Amino acid sequence: MSSIVDQSTSAADRVEDSAITAAELSEKGAPQTGSVARAYFQLLKPRVMTLVVFTAAVGLWLAPGEIEAWRAALGLLILAVGAGASGALNMWYDRDIDALMSRTAKRPIPNGDVSPNAALVYGLALSIGSVIALGLVTNWVAAGILAFTNAFYVVIYTMWLKRRTAQNIVIGGAAGSFPPMIGWAMVSGDISWVGFVLFGLIFLWTPPHFWALALVKESEYGAVKVPMLPNVVGAQETKRQIVIYTAAMSLIGLVPFVLGAAGYIYFVVSLAFGGLFMVNAWQLLRGDSLAPAKRMFGFSIFYLFLLFGLLLVDARSHVSLTWL
């Protein structure tokens, strides 16, 4: 097997040969593929929006108090737009490296479907508009958390941390952990220990999820000089960190039961699937194959949706939805 140095050198040569500057992207004409509407929708990272809305809905469902059903639904829709806006701004800033990675090369900006300037205006308008709209529809506590989340993701993670530190995912992962707190705040106008626990669950889930992908895509991240953990400390230390975070995540996954927010069904399933997550992390640590990393990336998505889904069906108490 060729050395990491050889792989990085070869990848760097390919980057130099194929680099696409922001000016070149701006000069591209009309969209090459797909409709304009589809391109702008893809800028919002719809798959990420799905996770944001789902986890926020769980936070809303667990909150004490009552809220009109239309207000809850509209609030979640506005939150989806706000989360999508930060995704558009992320794509605007990362357009140079997106063009060079197989996973992101077909995104709307590097693909020539949307110009960088249009994406910037689009993202800023939706971000500001969603914060104002959420404050008017629900309350300004929820809107304030949304504003902080978007600023954290775009400025702290995308612009500052992502290209500077191997802890980019750890610290930047906080941005994706706020939606349950926003959902809770939509109802109660405050935050609680349950909200912090759900925040912690996503926060600890994020590193194993993304580091599993980083192990598989190590050469690509190295080529674009994004310091993901495997590129900085090596695969073995990354695997050890995955085990540590997986263990912590599995434990905090049991806390909603301890706090009385979820019942015994949630507890049993959380315990069982947290154990399966740990088994996969241990297999990854002990072996040389990347198969467990690929398996972990897919399983981690299922795990998070499963736990939050169980919080919906096995909640010991939940919000009261009114129709007026």
pLDDT in tens, 99-114: 988 888 899 999 999 9
What is the per-residue pLDDT for 158? 93
Give the number of domains in the chain. 2
262 shares its domain with 124? no
Q: What is the mean pLDDT of residues 303-314?
A: 96
Q: Which structural domain range is residue 80 located in?
A: 33-191
221 pLDDT more than 70: yes
Predicted confidence at residue 324, as pLDDT, reads 67
How many residues does the structure list for the chain? 324
Band (pLDDT 50/70/90 cuts) for residue 96 is: very high
Average pLDDT value for residue range 134-140: 97
70 and 130, same domain (yes or no): yes
Of the candidate ranges 63-67, 285-289, 296-300, the one whose mean pLDDT is the lowest: 285-289
Tell which residue, 137, 194, 166, has the closest CA to residue 315: 194
What's the confidence (pLDDT) of residue 309? Answer: 96
Mean pLDDT of the chain: 88
Per-residue buried b or exposed e for 173-184, using 16+ beta carbons within 10 Å of the residue's own CB: bbbbbbbbbbbb
User: Do 228 and 162 share a structural domain?
Assistant: no
Domain C-terminal end among 170, 191, 212: 191
Q: Based on the domain organization, do 101 and 174 belong to the same domain?
A: yes
- What does the pLDDT average to over 273-279? 96
For position 186, which CATH number holds?
1.10.357.140
Which pLDDT value is given to residue 26? 41
Whether residues 39 and 174 share a domain: the answer is yes
Verify that 69 and 177 share a domain, yes or no: yes
- pLDDT tier at 28, thresholds 50, 70, 90: very low
DSSP code per residue over 79-104: HHHHHHHHHHHHHHHTHHHHTTSTTT
Question: Is residue 213 domain-shared with residue 265, that is, in the same domain?
Answer: yes
Q: Which of 109-113, 134-138, 167-171 has the highest mean pLDDT?
A: 134-138
